[in-house]
Amino acid sequence: MDDKELIAAVQAGEREAARRLYDRHAARVYRLIYRMTGDAGLAEEYTQDTFVKVFNRLSQFRGDSAFTTWLHSVAMSAVLTGMRKLRRLRTRETGLLDAETVAAATPDDDPHLRERLRAELERLPVRLRLPVVLHDVEGFTHREIAGILGVPEGTSKARLSEGRARLRVALASVAAER
């Protein structure tokens, strides 16, 4: 059974089909969300949010795009919404994000290029980090990224390019020291 047939079965009320559809895609969604959040608890929570939304809105899926693209776009939306809430909460309560940013910005904390790359990637603004992670780390195509993020392909390419440029600049000094 392909995704289309499974979706039709789910819409007809077959619980087993829903479980099969979930089993087919949940691990990848979870891994992607974990990549975005770096936290197993959040990855679990946002993966659940994603599938609850997907199953509740399955009737709205028109099949214009691949199911996986739609699924990942819902996942990204869940992540971004969740992270925004988390950021507001943390900022209000402890200013934790500011402290983390300052710490990550200290070059001496990450003497090795790999560690520095990791830190710089995490410091990229979300609008630039998402295309870099989705394309360069996860291997999505620009077409898929455009579908997931709801932007034109050209925007995906431009943001990837800008993200990479920022990374190169940030890493230039470290590379020169080697």
Given the rule CB under 8 A, which residues bind other proteins?
10, 13-15, 18-19, 22-23, 26-27, 30-31, 34-35, 38, 40, 43-44, 47-48, 51-52, 55-56, 113-114, 117-118, 121, 132, 136-138, 164, 167-168, 171-172, 175
Nearer CB in complex with other proteins: 125/150? 125
Nearer CB in complex with other proteins: 150/169? 169
Q: How far is the CB of 168 from other proteins (least distance, A)?
A: 6
Question: Cβ atoms within 10 A of the Cβ of 40, count?
Answer: 11
Nearer CB in complex with other proteins: 100/150? 100
Q: How far is the CB of 31 from other proteins (least distance, A)?
A: 4
Rounded (10°) CA dihedral 37, 41, 42, 46: 130
Q: How far apart are CA 129 and CA 126, in angstroms?
A: 5
